[in-house]
Amino acid sequence: MAESRPLGVPAAGLVLLVGVSGSGKSTFAARHFTPTEVVSSDTCRALVADDAEDQSATPDAFDLLQHLVGIRLRRGLLTVVDATNVQPDARAQLVALARGHDLLVDAIVLKVPARVAVDRHRASGRTFGRTPVERIVERHDRDLRRSLRGLRREGFRRVHVLDGVEEVEAATVVRERSWNDRRELTGPFDIVGDVHGCASELRTLLERLGWELERDDAGRAVGARHPEGRTAVFVGDLVDRGPDTPGVLRLVSGMVAAGTALCVAGNHEDKLVRALRGRQVKVAHGLEESLAQLAEEPEEFRERMTAFMDGLVAHYVLDEGRLVVAHAGLKEAYHGRSSRRVRAFALYGDTTGETDEFGLPVRYPWAQDYRGSATVVYGHTPVPTAEWVNGTICLDTGVVFGGALTALRYPERELVDVPAEREWYAPARPLAPMVPEREPGALAAADVLGTRWLDTTFGPRVKVPEENAAAALEVMSRFAVDPRWLVHLPPTMAPVATSSRDGYLEHPDEAFEEYACAGITTVVCEEKHMGSRAVAVLARDAATAERRFGVTDGSTGQVVTRTGRAFFPGDLGRRLVASLTEAAAPLFERLDTDWIVLDAELLPWSAKAGELIREQYAAVGAAASVALPAAQEVLDAALARGLDAPALTALADRTRRRTHAAAAFRDAYRSYVRPTDGLDGVTVAPFAVLAGEGEAYAATRSHRWHLEQVAAIHGHPLVTPTRHRFVDLADAGARGAAAQWWLDLTAAGGEGMVVKPADDVPVPGDGRRVQPGVKVRGREYLRIIYGPDYLDALDVLRNRHLGRKRDLALKEHGLGLDALARFVAGDPLWEVHQRVFAVLALESEPVDPRL
């Protein structure tokens, strides 16, 4: 009995099964891999020809197989090719495919006597057209024997040969993760930039970060431990140029050995190792310092450090794939991959092969194009200050050139730095930002066009259909304000479930019931102002606007509509921002922030919707005001002359009712019309503070908190307070009182109210699908929505499919919160914009291609 041999295969990569037809590859694959991991030539042949044995379909089948394998490899999935793979060119194409995706490829050879394979075919009844089975198997066997000699030189990482049926039967497979795959480590991490032999600054920095140094008998730092169990990650370039390369290596290698640190290789380690191994290298860029310093160390130390540096991995994928550390950064397609070019990118960056006027290699600013979801932390290129660019950050702040040694606390995203004690080495060129003249407002059509799926932290996954995105691009480009101000768009709000109460389409009872059923104990009822929804983005001054929003034209904010347009053009808009910023001053104080985003209603409705009111509502009212009395007159005359028909009486009654309804309708819109002149007469009713520096309050605070905050600015003449009351849902009396409050409010011309959970805050990943708020609109107000006579058609209107609206409300709410949270976290503009754009797209009528 053969011994079980565990075969190591790459956990992400390609495995070729090699063996004659009938050698048991499919059985082997089924035993050791999941069905989706296996791509079989027989299956592909069946897919393209309806017949797994149709040999004439082989070229097409192989095309399909390569396509499938290519897609899986691009996505980084383990893929097993179940085909004979006995011919070198078939293997070569698949090896090249894996290489093209920078993944490893193994071969497993199933060497089974030809006679066994033939017998198996006989038993299964499988045929190959008119060719006898023996001939086929014989040919495969010949090809295989010829292949075996050179197989190891074909580019496989490993070739496992299973000799004989017993070995095949007994084999076991283990998946080996790549060295760079440490996604199980979730931190927290302290990621340290290029040290370059600055041992003293490194020790100071570690202590500032709360690390406790361990020293040997000679007092040299040989390790460090963080009391909170943090892990240090070094981005490479520990060595060269600086005063104490051995000291840095001693400390970092000690930390790595003790498991308190990880370290990736830098280009300087790469070269130093080659120099120490006696290879021919040009001694420049500070290598001479390292060689001189190490020459004074004992031979044993030198060897240990050489081995340490030689064993460094080029990049790490950490924290479930959310964090990538590489010395010179890494583009998304290379994350977790292994190949020479991936290593070269990680060590040297995206070099173009040219050198600049200082003799340094020209690097392509890959971070500018980066659109990946993982945070990439790197060093390599000295920059004056560490800055986020599209979710990537360079921590090399040039300590050895007299700059600073910088660390990033992750996931906190805090930067901690220690200034250089002196300039240890003169730079070849002045420190320059990695991305020169970065345009913070840079957005790309590819960020928003086409069908897109967006994951949101606080809501469901959202699909933005292509045709909606097309419509939104036009609105966004033609009408919306500068996207740098557009950090949020308000979501649509679902109405309350339809009431079956006589004479009502909407009533507070259903709102209370909905939230009680969802396990909410207290809700807040907020007066719904009849105005225009507004988002106010306010910076304390132009400097804040530039620092936080990247806006440099001197403007300090924007007040935008639901579709991202400015409420007022030019100077009026600037004056509104200025007055609102002044009004909100107490909020800036309370929240210790120099910018805020307010969710509000701008009043009166007529200020922005004057045209709509006149064209749509007043015009209908005007037509009714002449048509109905005229009809009434002739009906009365007909009845007076004695015409007697039930139809006539009924029509007269209906016309009378309509006359009243039309009058009520005109009263309804009139209550939202107030004369305004420019900003005179305009007020703002804020009801939430969506975000400020360091916190997206919309995602972290309750509505009770929000109302407490905005109460701080209620004295200002520009601010209209939002009346509200809290309702304990367990208290029937409180519910009844709130319903009465709503009746009074709406009887006095109010639009209605919004009911929201009072104390709950959004929970990330919460699948409960509780509406963030529902609106309960007044009976009279609804005439504006459903028409003057809607109360006569409640039977029809009650059937008003709210599902889509409720679904949309949840999605847009999730997108809106995500946009704010990302903006607060300092994520790149395009990521914030994608979410804001998606809200607009979901609200846009899709462009019908048939138009």
Partner 1 sequence: MLLTVSTTHRPATDLGYLLFKHPDRVQEFEQSFGSATVFYPEATEERCTAALVLDIDPVRLVRSRPRGTPDFSLAQYVNDRPYAASSLLAVAIRRVFSTARSGRCDARPELAATPIPLEVRLPAVPCRPGGEAGRDLLRRIFEPLGWEVEAHDVPLDETLPGWGPSRYLDLTLSGEVVLADALNQLHVLLPALDQAKHYWEAPDEVDKLLRSGGDWLAAHPERDLITRRYLGRRRALAREALTRLDELDGRPGAETTDGEQQEEQAPAWRPLHQLRREAVLDVLDELAAAGATSVVDLGCGGGQLLADVLARPAYAVVAGADVSAVGVLATQRRLRIDERSLRRTPDRQAEALRARISVFQASVTYTDERFAGYDAAVLMEVVEHLDPERLPALERVVFGEARPGAVVVTTPNADYNVRYPDLTGFRHPDHRFEWTRAEFAAWCDGVAARTGYTVERRWVGEVDPELGAPTQLGVFRRG
Would you say 258 or 785 has its CB closer to partner 1?
785
Query: Which part of the chain contacts partner 1 (CB under 8 A), choosing from 24-32, 211-219, 270-278, 635-643?
Result: 635-643
Question: In the bound complex, what is the minimum distance in angstroms from residue 807's beta carbon to partner 1?
Answer: 20
Q: Least separation, in Å, of the C-beta of 496 and partner 1?
A: 18
Residue 202 or 794 having the CB closest to partner 1: 794
The whole-angstrom separation of Cα 71 and Cα 103 is 13
Name which of residues 394 to 453 contact partner 1 (CB under 8 A): 439, 441-449
**Identity of the residue, 441 or 721, whose beta carbon is nearer to partner 1 in the bound complex:** 441
For residues 758-787, which are near partner 1 according to CB under 8 A?
Answer: 784-787
Strand residue runs (E) in 91-151:
104-111
CA dist 20 and 486 (Å) reads 63
**Cβ closer to partner 1: 470 or 711?**
470
x/- letters, 797..826, toward partner 1 (CB under 8 A): x-----------------------------
Contacts of 318 (CB under 8 A, 6+ apart): 182, 183, 185, 186, 187, 189, 233, 262, 324, 325
List beta partners, residue 695: 692
The stretch near partner 1 (CB under 8 A) out of 138-146, 290-298, 621-629, 678-686 is 621-629
Considering only residues 637, 730, 732, 737, which one is a binding residue for partner 1 as defined by CB under 8 A?
A: 637
Report the alpha-carbon distance of residue 192 to residue 417 in Å, rounded: 9
630 scored as a contact of partner 1 (CB under 8 A): yes
- We find the least distance from the C-beta atom of residue 88 to partner 1, in angstroms, to be 37
Which residues make Cβ contacts (< 8 Å) with residue 509, sequence separation at least 6? 499, 501, 735, 739
677: DSSP letter: B
Q: How large is the C-alpha radius of gyration of the chain? A: 35
Report the site for partner 1 in 647-686 (rule: CB under 8 A). 647-648, 651, 654-655, 658, 662, 665-666, 670, 673, 675
Partnered with residue 599 across adjacent β-strands are 535, 688
Nearer to partner 1, 45 or 658 (CB): 658
In angstroms, the CA 191 to CA 414 distance is: 10
Residues 512-571 that bind partner 1 (CB under 8 A): 553, 555
- Region 571-600 residues binding partner 1, contact defined as CB under 8 A: none
Of 423 and 474, CB closest to partner 1: 474
Query: Does 726 sit near partner 1 (CB under 8 A)?
Result: no
Applying the rule CB under 8 A, the residues between 238 and 297 that interact with partner 1 are none
The C-alpha atoms of residue 581 and residue 587 are separated, in whole angstroms, by: 9
DSSP lists the bridge partners of residue 8 as: 174
Tell the smallest beta-carbon distance from residue 743 to partner 1 (Å). Answer: 23
Sole binder of partner 1 in the list 307, 432, 517, 623 (CB under 8 A): 623
Separation CA 381–CA 328 (nearest Å)? 7
Closest separation in Å from C-beta 794 to partner 1: 9
Cβ contacts of residue 438 below 8 Å, gap of 6+? 368, 389
Q: Helix/strand/coil (H, E, C) string of 594-654? A: CEEEEEEEEECHHHHHHHHHHHHHHHHHHHHHHHHHHHHHHHHHHHHCCCCCHHHHHHHHH
Residues 290-329 as x/- pattern, contact with partner 1 by CB under 8 A: ----------------------------------------
790 binds partner 1 (CB under 8 A): yes
Residue identified by tokens 């006995």 is: 86
**Residue from 11, 185, 638, 825 binding partner 1 (CB under 8 A):** 638
Please say which residue, 266 or 483, places its beta carbon nearer to partner 1.
483
Q: Nearer Cβ to partner 1, position 180 or 844? A: 844
Instruction: Give the residue with the Cβ less far from partner 1, 431 or 638.
Output: 638
Report in angstroms the alpha-carbon separations of 210 from 227, 238, 332, 781, 787: 8, 20, 32, 61, 67
Q: How far apart are CA 825 and CA 696, in angstroms?
A: 9
- Nearest CA to 586 out of 555, 542, 548, 540 is that of 540
CB of 270 within 8 A of CB of 347?
A: yes
Q: Distance between CA atoms of 829 and 148, rounded to whole angstroms? A: 55
Site membership for partner 1, residue 788 (CB under 8 A): yes
Site string for partner 1, 469-508 (x = CB under 8 A): -xx-xx-xxx--xx--------------------------
Name the minimum Å distance from CB 479 to partner 1.
9
Per DSSP, the three-state class of 180 is coil
Report in angstroms how near the CB of residue 428 gets to partner 1 at its nearest. Answer: 26
298 or 675, CB closer to partner 1?
Answer: 675
Q: Which stretch binds partner 1 (CB under 8 A): 379-387, 409-417, 686-694, 843-851?
A: 843-851
Q: Give the span between the Cα atoms of 89 and 84, in whole angstroms.
A: 12
Residues 350-369 that bind partner 1 (CB under 8 A): none
- Residue with Cβ nearer partner 1 (627 or 743): 627
Size of the site for partner 1 (CB under 8 A): 72
Q: State the alpha helices, DSSP H only, in 311-355.
A: 340-348
Strand, helix or coil for residue 128? strand
Work out how close the CB of 624 gets to partner 1 at its nearest, in angstroms, rounded to a whole number: 5
851 binds partner 1 (CB under 8 A): yes
CB of 630 to partner 1, least distance (A): 4
| Separation between Cα atoms, residue 228 and residue 220, nearest integer Å | 23
- Mapped onto helix, strand or coil, the DSSP state of residue 590 is helix
Q: Give the interface segment with partner 1, choosing from 39-47, 61-69, 342-350, 624-632 (CB under 8 A).
A: 624-632
Q: Nearest distance from residue 600's CB to partner 1, in Å?
A: 23
Query: Given the complex with partner 1, which of 182 and 666 has the nearer CB atom?
Result: 666
Site for partner 1 in 24-63 (CB under 8 A): none
**Cα gap 325→265, rounded to integer Å:** 10
Site for partner 1 in 452-471 (CB under 8 A): 467, 470-471
Of 268, 281, 275, the residue nearest 241 (C-alpha): 268
C-alpha to C-alpha distances, 75 to 70, 131, 371, nearest whole angstrom = 9, 39, 16
Q: Residue 28 is encoded by which pair of tokens? A: 């082997």
- Widest CA span of the chain, in angstroms? 125
